[in-house]
Homo-oligomer: A and B are copies of this chain.
């Protein structure tokens, strides 16, 4: 069975995050996309998103790993809403690793060149409703 093209795309993005290839990563974002860096902090546009990913990676000492679990895609009107189990793994600063699972929500748009690009990257999903103070 072939997998949904957006799963392949997200795998490519997560691999780029893990190896700190932010140029490759940015090819999959719409120019004025939004990234939820953390609850109540959203950045807009590719330059700011690139800086945020670099800062996040630095924060985890360049050792953040992102992989994918279960996924649902709903497509409508050249948008796609991806509901996804996103798995983060990073050092705890004391020699072992922390595993964190999120239920993410990503919005994509099919652009004029036929490519899907991310318009809204919210790895916190509906947890935003409780996470914001």
Contact = CB atoms under 8 A, between A and B. Distances in A.
Given A103-B126, A103-B129, A126-B125, A30 B83 contact: no
A126 B105 contact: yes
A76 B32 contact: yes
Nearest to A30: B77
Interface residues of A, number: 37
Contacts of A126: 83, 103-105, 125-126
Given A72-B128, A126-B105, A33 B83 contact: no
Contact of A34 (B74, B109, B117, B120): B74
A36 B122 CA distance: 20
Contacts of A78: 32, 119
B83 A107 contact: no
9 contacts: A30-B77, A31-B77, A32-B78, A34-B74, A34-B75, A79-B109, A79-B120, A83-B128, A85-B129
Interface of A: 30-36, 42, 44, 70-72, 74-81, 83-85, 103-105, 107, 109, 117, 119-120, 122, 125-126, 128-129, 132
